[in-house]
Amino acid sequence: MMTRIALLILMSLLSFLSKAQETQNEELTSNEGVTVTVTIPKIASNEGKVYFALYDSNESFIERVTFQEATGEIKDNTTTTISFVNVPKGTYAITCYHDANDNKQLDFKGMRPVEDYGTTNNPQLFGPPQFDLAKFDVNDTNLTFEINF
């Protein structure tokens, strides 16, 4: 009889631990994603910061509703690197600009930007950035991009 009770308690404990492990794995899966790292290798000056925006659709890109944002400090007078973490599978695009005067906006003179900017895939831009030219897919592997101003 004591053996049966001990066996029953042991089986209940194992069942409880198994369910707790399943819950923990589900939580990890829901929070998992890849890391997308972006480097700007050549920046015109050491002044200001570089602002990055990650967009998860053409609509959010057009409306400037970001999925994630990051700010890069300029190092060695010429470069910055940031990472977007826990990015789930999907299609994304990144834009960035060098805010040389640190006013938290891309400055223009008339219709032309006076501060450097860029997007993923480094398309030749003759107008505002476009999602289709900057987009990339996130799957199961961490990604690294270099954006040139």
Residue-wise pLDDT for 127-148, tens only, equals 889 999 999 999 999 999 999 9
Q: Which residue has the higher pLDDT, 46 or 18?
A: 46
Considering the domain architecture, whether residues 39 and 106 belong to the same structural domain is answered as: yes
Considering the domain architecture, whether residues 71 and 9 belong to the same structural domain is answered as: no
Considering the domain architecture, whether residues 129 and 94 belong to the same structural domain is answered as: yes
Considering the domain architecture, whether residues 2 and 45 belong to the same structural domain is answered as: no
C-beta separation of 70 from 84 below 8 A: yes
> Can you give the pTM of this predicted structure?
0.78
C-beta separation of 91 from 134 below 8 A: no
What is the span of the domain harbouring residue 27?
A: 1-31
Considering the domain architecture, whether residues 18 and 82 belong to the same structural domain is answered as: no
3-state secondary structure of 139: coil
- 44's CB contacts (< 8 A; 6+ apart) are 98, 100, 116, 149
Considering the domain architecture, whether residues 22 and 75 belong to the same structural domain is answered as: no
CATH code at position 98: 2.60.40
What is the count of structural domains for the chain? 2
Residue-wise pLDDT for 53-101, tens only, equals 999 999 999 999 999 999 999 988 789 999 999 999 999 999 999 999 9
Residues 29/32/34/35 CA torsion (nearest 10 deg): -170
